[in-house]
Structure 1
């Protein structure tokens, strides 16, 4: 799997400093996810992913939400500006059902209307420009998606 250490091609220049900060934590974020496992499960329950759907998990971190969605049969793309957290996510689960990749919530590298559903448990709220991230989430979600 591709693991980018230079994220400049997919992370907006103004978000590079944040990416460096998040990268300093890397695998430690998996411990944080254990503390919020109930909230992650609640998010996945509310999303109600279906087998065969294409779901985007934005700010996936070490992939907890992505793995819970994939366990329900959906195909998941997990994006995060933190390449070190993604390395941990891949080491935990490198299945074909989950595609982890470096990406910026404010400039997603996907075509319009790509995903049936989008999740972000505790990530988009940290964006420097949340309105731009919200616009991107709406853009890549299929009409009638969730």
Structure 2
């Protein structure tokens, strides 16, 4: 959920920057006189005026929950829970979550490989005992036929 909020904030920030830059470039091309030198258009040497409104971007902060604090600890971002500040940035939390996702995926890969090795070993043991799915299935069907024959005799 935090990554979606961070993505929305980043998209809004990019849109505002684009909007500001587009309006600045339109304003500067309208007000300047273009001189034609050797077939090229050049702007006059006047310095463009800085925009009167100043835009300051503040990074929004987030108060981490207990689980998010554990994620920050597990990811190695902080050593102790006391070191975690009251508010953290969404980017820091997203980076910690991504690190945990990578660690969990590595753990799942290792468990999958260990499971495959275990199943190969068990399969070889079963082959030495002459157990196979075919023989087990044939034994079960023979047992079911005998039970059906016994049931038919009793009726």
TM bin (shorter chain): under 0.3
TM-score, structure 2 normalization: 0.17
Q: Which has the higher contact order (CA 8 A, sep 6+)?
A: 1
TM-score by length of structure 1 reads 0.18
The structure with more helix, counted as a fraction of residues: 2
